[in-house]
Amino acid sequence: MPGWGYLPLAGDSAPTATPDGRADVRWLMMSNVCKHCTHAGCLDVCPTGALFRTEFGTVVVQQDVCNGCGYCVSACPYGVIDKREGDGRAWKCTLCYDRLKADETPACAKACPTESIQFGDLDELRERAERRRRQLHEAGVTEARLYGNDPHDGVGGDGAFFLLLDEPEVYGLPPDPVVPTRDLPAMYRTMAVAAGAMLLGGLAAAVGRR
């Protein structure tokens, strides 16, 4: 499966001195793109099939199929799906699906002058990111952490993950992302059991009256 990784350089987090001489301000950069979740809530709730999983494992919106209901917007734990002002249809990063089909690198990774954005095999990117994380820790940047690379997290891991230099909340990211539709199967089973119990109770009452 292809993947997208944001692996910032050490200078990405350089402190900036404040007017009173304190160096407690930092610039933390991140591209807030679609994470292409393994378990994508947006796919679960889309009533028209406008969202689909590609042959590359990424998630894409077909705007000509989207009816603008907005269910996918609220189902995204990262808040990256938006609605166009003109027609209300959903849109987001597609990881350059058209370029992937042509065996080309996504535009962001190809254009990044520092190679902070990297594209390639997901497992290889995870290994590369882990090496980079260890290098930063050895350099004293102990806050560095990988985000979105854990296949056992609440979304099953992301196709686009990040090497963060601070807590996820500082970047506006949820610390423990969870697909909103995770509990739907259990809810449906509970509803079915409750409905069955009510039906049996009604039948028993009817028999008792006879």
Do residues 130 and 188 share a domain?
no
The pTM for the full model equals 0.73
Local structure of residue 147 (DSSP, 8 states): E
Same domain for 191 and 110: no
pLDDT digits (tens, 9 = 90+) for 118-140: 898 888 888 998 999 999 999 88
Q: Do 126 and 191 sit in the same domain of this protein? A: no
**For position 10, which CATH number holds?**
3.30.70.20
127 shares a domain with 94: yes
Question: pLDDT band at residue 86, thresholds of 50, 70 and 90?
Answer: confident
Same domain, 191 and 91: no
Same domain, 92 and 50: yes
**Which is nearest to 141 in space by CA: 8, 10, 41?**
10
Provide the domain limits for residue 6: 2-178
Alpha-carbon distances, residue 197 vs 61, 62, 109, 157, 202 (angstroms): 41, 42, 56, 38, 9
If you average pLDDT over every residue of the chain, what do you get?
A: 81
34 and 82 inside one domain: yes
Q: Comparing 85 with 50, which gets the higher pLDDT?
A: 50
Q: Are residue 189 and residue 204 in the same domain, yes or no? A: yes
